[in-house]
Structure 1
């Protein structure tokens, strides 16, 4: 007797949310039912409720049993299929957004470790079920769906033993991303910490823990690296280079350059010719 079923919902809206549910579903698969090989262009999590199946990624086949969760990363060639004798039943949720990668970095999921069993009881199933029950195309529905997705991801983060180290690394990663995009402007420690959503002191501790240097020291060193590149590869004046790396006062730039590099910008350019 075939007792398979499939419930699914896909959101075609492109709301500018930092974490957005793309699709959600619940399925009891047929014997040996398969998807792939192929790729997805979004993150996709499956949580197995009963039965078992197999997930293939990076040339490795994983057996996935009831209570386990596996993740599919965007643009990775994968396939997965139900067991012939005991086909699996699972919930799945696909999602996108600028914060998706950062949040998953806080979990113990990786491309080399895509299958986990967290012993979460029914909590994960409840959150996934609520995502489906909250489905809808208006903004309030999509916000609720994103909210329940955040709760589901929080369960994975809570189970990650290396969370504290990961969070400092991620704060530094976000700060460096901000600096590399904005170093040519007047940026401050306040603007960086505000961008990440943490205090100045927390940002400082994260940098010292991960890089053994302060955020200000990193900004100065990065600006000097960019200045060196411009001195070597362009004919821009010293004043133009100073402006290009976010330092308006060319005399202050020259003093800072000499302090960190050991010679003035003019001397460095002559030496590099």
Structure 2
């Protein structure tokens, strides 16, 4: 998963369902899959038998299953499973599907700390994918965001609790969430000093340790992330997007977008498959 921000992915099929009482999924099906299956459980309990052992299934369990492998699902709860499923392929540099037995290999199992963030991303992907065919490329963008959310959970699981505690700054996290919730709000260093009750130099050090970026760069990254999705997912003009994100000068917004993404907002909207140069979610970790 370390390469998920560099390798693109394409949705083949996506859905959400409350399974029927007689639903089953066994190795007779999975060994014939030509792709990967992201399987995210919202309700129900059971277990999954894999080639490497048994996995307990409960709400929040997220699986990435590889086609060609033998998997057998068993439900143990009275209520049937409710889950998302996303059949997808990673794509190589020529946009050709990568076989499910080839790298990158994602861990099969993780228990998501919070159900809602990944559910929201998959729901957006499903909504866009079942819309007009000319807009379905946007579903792959939401899948990419979902894979980054999964990556964060995998990295969190491999970090010891002591290490997480030593690097976690709740006050800086609170400021990060304010910026994320309202990227148009421009907080200067004096504002941050007051909010964090420390000097300018200490604000910089704390932000750098917590997010991997300076306060200014973090705020820019969040605005560029918001611009990325507004260009893909809204009918707003570039000037309206700039204004909504707190930019007075649309030309300055366009220059900053190009510095960040490598193309102008207009070019990005016309050719959204152009890879971005600095994924905004690469370094900052959501609260664990």
TM-score by length of 2: 0.44
Determine which structure has the larger strand proportion and give its number.
1
TM-score by length of 1: 0.46
